[in-house]
């Protein structure tokens, strides 16, 4: 069996991390079998190398090897891509087409991002894993294929299964052997080796001197989180190789190319601060709700006040004699009842003392509608009494419709005293 070092050299794999070496050893061991393999790890860790190694050292190495990115194929066409379709199976199917499983018969298929497969496609894939059977889209003919499947995913499959985004039975079929590749942040000793390799490659590509890591630059590389893993490190190396004139890279220069460097540092969470923030947010929410309630009440009071004022103005215009009888004085034609001085109102009205113009607005809103309400009730009572309970006559005297008067009699519970 080929050694790990020879394997790395053959496939261009760089690094001496123990986790990486274990993954390569497992790939070599399972390559000579027909066991299905699931490769796991974050995006950008190099999962695509494992199925190549398995295929290259398997008895199928002279047959087809097809790599399929399941996440890049639209859901509506992925069944056609994988299993093929018959002519006329759907709009645009102008000819019969063979799918990847038919083309790769006898060889290997690498299903990258297998966790992105739709549930309907997962059912079809499960059938192939169980007995090698599949049907083209739009066909009722069962076909057989002999394909070894190596899948890869960057998802946490247990969570995907709990959320019912991935079939549990398919997961166990695919992961007879699971090979995990560690993220770059766990391979700190390999980071500088990879960076130097990429810098050398780009120096040759762009025909310029190779970059060298200066003082502190290596530490910056090792401390960074590398969320994009090897792919991100390669992109950074290419940027620096092209843009920097100084070929000795120091720490400060390198930091300028690392996005969100400050957010990569661990944070200590103070739970008491979190509770205080939550309490503060809750108080703000309560205050907003309380203010909304007050605004709504104010709006109701204002609407009621406007309605009462309109009634009073109508009575004052159409029957000033009634106003004079209630308040004991004639009102100026341009004056409305709502501005009559409380001191000059008849005794028996429990009126509040005059409100200074500098008093709080809420005091005015609370007291003034109550006084107007008493006035309106008194006017209705007097009009009904003068008309001997005849609502039509009373309504005419008040200057309102009979229907409005009837509604107000019910509202103020006056019907028992003034029934026709």
Average pLDDT over residues 386-408: 83
pLDDT at 349: 46
pLDDT at residue number 285: 65
Query: For residue 417, which of 397, 394, 389 has the smallest C-alpha distance?
Result: 389
Q: Is the dihedral of CA 185, 189, 193, 199 positive or negative?
A: positive
Domain 4-182 sits in CATH 3.40.50.300:
yes
Burial 376-390 (b: 16+ CB within 10 A, else e): beebbbbbbeebebb
- Supply φ then ψ for residue 204, to 5 degrees: -70, -40
DSSP-derived letter for residue 355 is P
Query: How far is residue 321's CA from residue 346's CA, in Å, rounded to a whole number?
Result: 15
Q: What confidence score (pLDDT) does residue 275 get? A: 46
Q: How far is residue 394's CA from residue 400's CA, in Å, rounded to a whole number? A: 9
Tokens of 89: 């199976």
Range of 26-30, 244-248, 324-328 with top mean pLDDT: 26-30
Dump strand ranges (E) for 237-365.
Answer: 248-249
Q: How many alpha carbons fall within 13 Å on the CB side of residue 31?
A: 23
Task: Decide if pLDDT at 284 tops 80.
Answer: no
Contact by Cβ (8 Å): 68, 100: yes
pTM: predicted TM-score of the whole model, two decimal places: 0.61
Structural domain spans, the chain: 4-182, 194-264, 298-411
* 281/286 Cα distance (integer angstroms): 9
pLDDT band at residue 326, thresholds of 50, 70 and 90?
Answer: low
* CA-closest candidate to residue 373, choices 325, 322, 301, 318: 301
302 vs 115: which has the higher pLDDT: 115
Closest CA to 138 of 84, 81, 86: 86
Banded model confidence at residue 293, pLDDT cuts 50, 70, 90: confident
Q: Which residue has the tokens 């605004």?
A: 295
Q: Which residue from 38, 44, 13, 16 is spatially nearest to 26, judged by alpha carbons?
A: 38
Least confident of 63-72, 137-146, 221-230, 346-355: 346-355
70: tokens are 């399941």
Confidence of residue 314 (pLDDT cuts 50, 70, 90): low
Locate all alpha helices (DSSP H) within 133-250, ordered by sequence: 157-162, 168-174, 188-206, 217-223, 229-243
Q: Which CATH architecture has domain 194-264?
A: Orthogonal Bundle (1.10)
pLDDT band at 321 (very low <50, low <70, confident <90, very high): low
Q: Which of 86-100, 119-133, 175-189, 341-355 has the lowest mean pLDDT?
A: 341-355
CA distances from 270 to 262, 264, 265, 280, 413 (A): 19, 18, 16, 15, 61
Q: Rounded mean pLDDT of 66-71?
A: 96
Among residues 89, 113, 130, the alpha carbon closest in space to that of 39 is found at 113
Q: What's the average model confidence in pLDDT over 377-406?
A: 83
Residue with tokens 């008093």: 359
Task: Specify whether the CB–CB gap between 326 and 347 falls below 8 A.
Answer: no
154 neighbors 46 (Cβ within 8 angstroms)? no
Mean pLDDT of 165-190: 95
Residue with tokens 């690094």: 15
Looking at residue 143, the DSSP 8-state letter turns out to be E
Our measurement of the distance from residue 268's CA atom to the centroid of its chain's CA atoms, rounded to an integer in Å, reads 26
For the ranges 37-51, 160-174, 273-287, the lowest mean pLDDT is seen at 273-287
Residue 273, pLDDT score = 45
What confidence tier does 230 reach under pLDDT thresholds 50, 70, 90? Answer: very high
pLDDT tens per residue across span 10-48: 999 999 999 999 999 999 999 999 999 999 999 999 999
Q: How high is the pLDDT of residue 2?
A: 74
- pLDDT at 357 (0 to 100): 44
| Cα(256)–Cα(205) distance, integer angstroms | 23
Taking CA atoms, 397 is separated from 254, 323, 380, 400, in Å, by 91, 11, 10, 8
Q: How many CB atoms lie within 10 A of CB 30?
A: 21
Q: Give yes or no for a contact between 337 and 322, defined as CB atoms under 8 angstroms apart.
A: no
Percentage with pLDDT > 70 across the chain? 75
Domains 4-182 and 194-264 share a fold: no
Who has greater pLDDT, 253 or 419? 253
Residue scoring higher pLDDT (349 or 303): 303
d(CA 339, CA 295): 25
Residues 16 and 392: their CA atoms lie apart, in Å, by 102
Task: Read off the pLDDT of residues 336-378 as tens digits, 9 standing for 90 and up.
Answer: 444 444 444 445 445 555 544 444 444 444 444 455 777 778 8
Q: What is the pLDDT of residues 83-104, one digit of tens each?
A: 999 999 988 889 999 999 999 9
Please provide the average confidence, as pLDDT, over all residues in the chain.
82
Kindly list the distances between the CA atom of residue 77 and the CA atoms of 89, 117, 153, 198, 373, in Å, as whole numbers in the listed order. 12, 11, 20, 37, 72
In this structure, how many other beta carbons lie within 10 angstroms of the beta carbon of residue 411? 11
Output the CA torsion sign for 180, 183, 184, 187.
negative
Rounded Cα gap, residues 18 and 2, in angstroms: 18
């Amino acid at each position: 069996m080929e050694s790990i070092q020879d394997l790395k050299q053959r496939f261009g794999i760089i690094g001496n991390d123990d986790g990486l070496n274990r993954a390569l050893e497992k790939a070599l061991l399972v390559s000579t079998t027909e066991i299905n393999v699931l490769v796991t790890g974050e995006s950008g860790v190099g999962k695509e190398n494992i199925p190549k190694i398995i295929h290259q050292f398997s008895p199928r190495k002279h047959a087809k090897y097809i790599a399929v990115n399941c996440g890049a194929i639209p859901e509506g066409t992925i069944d056609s891509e994988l299993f093929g379709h018959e002519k006329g199976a759907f709009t645009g199917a102008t000819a019969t087409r063979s799918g990847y499983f038919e083309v790769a018969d006898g060889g290997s298929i690498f299903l990258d991002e297998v966790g992105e497969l739709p549930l309907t496609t997962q059912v079809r894939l499960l059938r192939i894993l169980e007995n090698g059977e599949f049907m083209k889209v739009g066909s009722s003919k069962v076909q057989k294929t002999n394909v070894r499947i190596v899948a890869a995913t960057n998802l946490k499959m247990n969570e995907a299964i709990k959320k019912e985004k991935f079939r549990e039975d398919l997961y166990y079929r695919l992961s007879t052997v699971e090979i995990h590749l560690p993220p770059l942040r766990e391979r700190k000793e390999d980071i500088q080796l990879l960076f130097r390799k990429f810098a050398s490659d780009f120096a040759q590509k762009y025909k310029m001197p190779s970059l060298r890591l200066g003082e502190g630059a290596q530490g910056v590389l090792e401390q960074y989180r590398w969320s994009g893993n090897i792919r991100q490190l390669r992109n950074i190396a290419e940027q620096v190789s092209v843009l920097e004139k100084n070929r000795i890279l120091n720490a400060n220069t390198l930091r300028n190319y690392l996005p969100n460097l400050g957010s990569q540092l661990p944070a200590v969470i103070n739970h008491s601060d979190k509770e205080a923030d939550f309490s503060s947010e809750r108080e703000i929410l309560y205050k907003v709700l309380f203010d909304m309630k007050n605004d709504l009440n104010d709006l109701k009071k204002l609407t009621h006040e406007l309605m009462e004022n309109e009634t009073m103005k109508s009575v004052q215009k159409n029957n000033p004699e009634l106003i004079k009888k209630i308040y004991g004085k004639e009102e100026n034609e341009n004056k409305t009842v709502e501005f009559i001085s409380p001191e000059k109102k008849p005794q028996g009205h429990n009126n509040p003392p005059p409100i200074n113009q500098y008093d709080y607005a809420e005091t005015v809103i609370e007291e003034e509608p109550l006084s107007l309400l008493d006035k309106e009730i008194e006017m209705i009572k007097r009009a009904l009494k003068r008309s001997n309970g005849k609502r039509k006559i009373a309504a005419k005297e008040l200057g309102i419709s009979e229907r409005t008067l009837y509604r107000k009699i019910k509202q103020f519970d006056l019907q028992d005293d003034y029934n026709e």
